[in-house]
Structure 1
Amino acid sequence: MTEGGQMTSRRPAPAGAKLQLGSLLAELAEAVGRGRADVRRALNCSEPKARKIMSGLVSVDPEDLVTLLDLFEADDAARAKAAELAAAAQRRSPRTPGGSPLRARVYKFEESAIGISSYATELIPGLLQIEDYAEQLFGASGERTPAQVKKLVAARRERSARLVSPDGPQLHFVLGEGAIHWQVGGPKTMAKQLLRLIELQDLPTVTIQVVPFASGVHAALGYAFTLLLQPAEQQDRAYFESLFASKLIHDKATVDGYRRRFAQAVEHALTPNDTSDYLATVAARL
């Protein structure tokens, strides 16, 4: 688990691997005084393609990668790292739930994230939801067919399996106490959901904390949001959604504001161990 400190490394997702490879190639090029014009000549390619390769926007052909590493006089360690990132970038991106272009961008940043910090007020975050809980939420409006609900639940299950795992990003969830008392699907479903949170707490990459009602006021109170923490060379994002709208934020000052509010929520929360004990107590009463 993490208390919001340093993030551990993991095998990058395809989108993140492309960006990291582009950053590595740019560093190597700068070290030997090479630029995009040199890349274009070495690969006999267009300027836009050279720019996309060096920006990490496209995958790099293995032969082209060797050519660039030779051009940049890369040592063995850099070559090994580049080969690892190139292989990761070539992996097929996993299927994600349907939705708006903005939602697709959020999933992309999730895939490249080294950490995800989420503050929730009334509901258990999607990544932590059991299928029965998710099914109740997706079907609540009555506007989706059973087949559509089933598809969304399956996609959420796949997304959770990718991210909530021992080799996934560091995940830190802070839940308002209301989220563990709101009985989505009834007592039986809610008890199963709370016991699942306790199980996930044992993963080395997962931290779950509850902010008790009695903890008082903090700056995040009433506002659910998620921080998508990216590798050092990339800008972190903040994300929030409402009933019919959502927003992905990349402005550094604004993201830092969300980061401070998440830290304040953590200060008001129970420790992870105390949270697990409390979840067990609530589940036993259902």
Structure 2
Amino acid sequence: MMRLITASRNALSMIAFTNCAISCTERTRECKHEVMPQVRHSLTVRGRRLARELRATREHADLTLEQASAALGWNRFKLGRIEAGKTRVSSPDVTRILDVYGVDPSVNATLVQLARDASRRGWWNSYSGIYSGGYVGLEDEASEIRTYHVQLIPGLLQTEDYARAVISAGVPDDQDEVNKRLHARMARKTLLSRPDAPVLNAVLAESALRQRVGGAAVMRDQLTALIKAAGRSNVAVRVLPYRAGARAGIEGSFVVLSFEDDLDPDIGYSEGIYGNVFIEGVEQVSHCRVEFDRIWEAALSEEASERFITDIASKF
């Protein structure tokens, strides 16, 4: 069951990019090292796990980054980027790294297979000009998605007409590009209907429900589809109405992704006009989870949210 939350103030609709990442930046200078801009070749969950394992293996071998790089005949920055999860690494290179580290063959085989898995093409590779694989690659492997939106319906819940209107606003003079992006977004939506679909807990600001996108008919259909989506066993929707006040949600839109394997830590994410950020620091991700829980508790129940959405839809 999916939860949809509507925000508490009209002002929230103006805060699309300000989020828990910005909040933690204000609270501590150290956060800026944890909030990472999306890179062109961002890795999937498996790729990030491999990066952590390679670093841990080097440290277990009691080798510094400089010593390991010299033994491999590489520039230290190449190995550093691999261990930081900023670049992909091939399975032959993983084999070479582990040989230098003197790793047990059984461990070697496991990590080489992980490298192969991390290099597999995802569905988003067909849309390389639209999706980098950064966020969608992580979303595709998530077991739970917690999302709070201030201005718009989340992409995973958008109807085709609503999505077309949103995309057209960004590229109004290029219909071919609109169609390509629309096709990609509709492909992304299939995530929620897969056999291994994640749990989606969506929190929407009331402003997102009232924002007229594509006209009255488009909004009626979108809100009706939203209610239908909330009937899925893996989707829960709540609304945080204006009357809830400024108790929660004032930091803007954000997402928290959780994964089935405990070895894969939660990741926070936000996007805006100035770029996209991943939030990976333990304290900062914890702040995002706490903030989401506050928003969730301040919102209407799922049943009350359904009635609330139905009422708004009737007025379009």
TM norm structure 2: 0.64
Amino acid at match of 1:224: G
Answering whether residue 299 of structure 2 is matched by residue 269 of structure 1, we say: yes
1:177-230: per-residue Cα shift (whole Å, max 9, x none)?
343344533454334323432443355654322123443442324x53113547
Partners of 2:198 and 2:67 lie apart in 1 by 36
Partners of 1:97 and 1:42 lie apart in 2 by 35
Partners of 1:218 and 1:97 lie apart in 2 by 40
Once the two structures are superposed, the pairs formed by residues 28-47 of structure 1 within 5 Å of their partners are: 28-36=57-65, 39-40=68-69, 43-47=72-76
Answering whether residue 267 of structure 2 is matched by residue 239 of structure 1, we say: no
Q: Which residue of 2 aligns with 1:10?
A: none
Specify every segment of 5 or more residues in structure 1 that has no aligned partner in the other structure, as ranges.
4-12
Kept after mapping to 1: 8 A contact 2:159/2:222:
yes
Amino acid at match of 1:227: V
Q: Which residue of 2 aligns with 1:9?
A: none
Partners of 2:270 and 2:187 lie apart in 1 by 21
Question: Which of 53, 56, 64 does residue 85 from structure 2 map onto?
Answer: 56
Q: Which stretch has the larger CA shift, 32-41 or 145-154? A: 32-41
Q: Which residue of 1 aligns with 2:175?
A: 146
Question: Which of 150, 155, 159 does residue 184 from structure 2 map onto?
Answer: 155
Answering whether residue 141 of structure 2 is matched by residue 112 of structure 1, we say: no
Specify every segment of 5 or more residues in structure 2 that has no aligned partner in the other structure, as ranges.
4-41
Partners of 1:182 and 1:235 lie apart in 2 by 31
1:240–1:224: structure 2 CA closer, same or farther, 3 Å change rule?
Answer: farther
1:138–1:68: structure 2 CA closer, same or farther, 3 Å change rule?
Answer: closer
Q: Which residue of 1 aligns with 2:37?
A: none
Deviation at 1:175, TM superposition (A): 0.8
Answering whether residue 238 of structure 2 is matched by residue 212 of structure 1, we say: no
1:65–1:140: structure 2 CA closer, same or farther, 3 Å change rule?
Answer: closer
1:265–1:224: structure 2 CA closer, same or farther, 3 Å change rule?
Answer: same
Deviation at 1:258, TM superposition (A): 5.0
Q: Which residue of 1 aligns with 2:32?
A: none
Deviation at 1:157, TM superposition (A): 2.2
Deviation at 1:35, TM superposition (A): 4.1
Partners of 1:201 and 1:108 lie apart in 2 by 27
Partners of 2:227 and 2:307 lie apart in 1 by 8
Answering whether residue 243 of structure 2 is matched by residue 225 of structure 1, we say: no
Bigger RCO (CA 8 Å, 6+ sep): 2
Partners of 2:196 and 2:190 lie apart in 1 by 11
Kept after mapping to 2: 8 A contact 1:238/1:258:
no
Q: Which stretch has the larger CA shift, 156-165 or 248-257? A: 248-257
Kept after mapping to 2: 8 A contact 1:23/1:233:
no
TM norm structure 1: 0.69
Amino acid at match of 2:298: H
Answering whether residue 186 of structure 2 is matched by residue 130 of structure 1, we say: no
Q: Secondary structure at the match of 1:184?
A: coil
1:44-68: per-residue Cα shift (whole Å, max 9, x none)?
5443333333333333333343344
Deviation at 1:28, TM superposition (A): 2.6
Deviation at 1:153, TM superposition (A): 1.8
Deviation at 1:269, TM superposition (A): 1.2
Partners of 1:246 and 1:66 lie apart in 2 by 35
Kept after mapping to 2: 8 A contact 1:14/1:91:
no
Deviation at 1:90, TM superposition (A): 1.2
Q: Which stretch has the larger CA shift, 247-256 or 127-136? A: 247-256
Amino acid at match of 1:239: S
Amino acid at match of 2:270: Y
1:56–1:148: structure 2 CA closer, same or farther, 3 Å change rule?
Answer: closer
Once the two structures are superposed, the pairs formed by residues 177-192 of structure 1 within 5 Å of their partners are: 177-192=206-221
Partners of 2:279 and 2:43 lie apart in 1 by 21
Amino acid at match of 1:189: V
Aligned residue pairs, count? 268
Partners of 1:40 and 1:127 lie apart in 2 by 42
